[in-house]
Amino acid sequence: MDRDEILRVLSAFEASGLEYVLIGATAMGFHGLVRATEDVDLFIRATPENVERLRDAFRHAYDGDPNIDEITAADLLGDYPAVRYYPPTGDLYFDVLTRLGEAARFETVEAEIKEIAGTRVSVATPAALYRLKKGTVRPQDRVDAAALRERFSLKDEV
């Protein structure tokens, strides 16, 4: 994951007015839990206007890559709530989500604003990340959930 590239994308997100929240290892990195990852996971608000903002941001960051046209509101608001975009640089990829299962979507993920290199970034809170990760079957998510729980003294809600 190239520093300049990710900062360029995050800056483009902010400039486009995209409503999003980072989740996954990239969000954990903002909270000081550092592990390597290949992707940037994010929820976006599921509206056609917001999908257009996402496309604008990616076009800006990736010099008008024509593949971006394949990211559509019809998919993200319809049968395909998970879209993976591999940009031309080849250094990372993006998992864009509008919903995860029945419960999780942009509106349900508590976020906070972090700043990096003058760019404001919307990042899921440690508690929100923990809630997203603790119930999954993926081993890495279990490890992440345990790390979040320990670092931030999180407790399960009853």
Partner 1 sequence: MAVQRFRSIEEMNAAPRREPRGPDFERFLRHCARYWAIAPKNYPRGVFKFRTMEEAQRARDER
98/76 Cα distance (integer angstroms): 6
Contact 153/126 with Cβ under 8 angstroms? no
DSSP state of 45: -
Which residues 93-152 are close enough to bind partner 1 by CB under 8 A?
A: 93, 95, 97, 100-101, 114, 116, 138
User: In the beta sheet, which residues pair with residue 105?
Assistant: 99
Single-letter code of the amino acid located at 143: V
The nearest distance, CB 158 to partner 1, in angstroms, is 26
Find the shortest distance in angstroms from Cβ 155 to partner 1: 23
Task: List the interface residues with partner 1, window 6-65 (CB under 8 A).
Answer: 6, 25-26, 28-32, 34-39
- What gap in Å lies between CA 11 and CA 137, rounded to an integer? 33
Least gap, CB of 60 to partner 1 (angstroms): 17
Q: Which two tokens stand for residue 62?
A: 């990736």
Contact positions vs partner 1 (CB under 8 A):
1-3, 6, 25-26, 28-32, 34-39, 67-68, 70-71, 75, 79-88, 90-91, 93, 95, 97, 100-101, 114, 116, 138
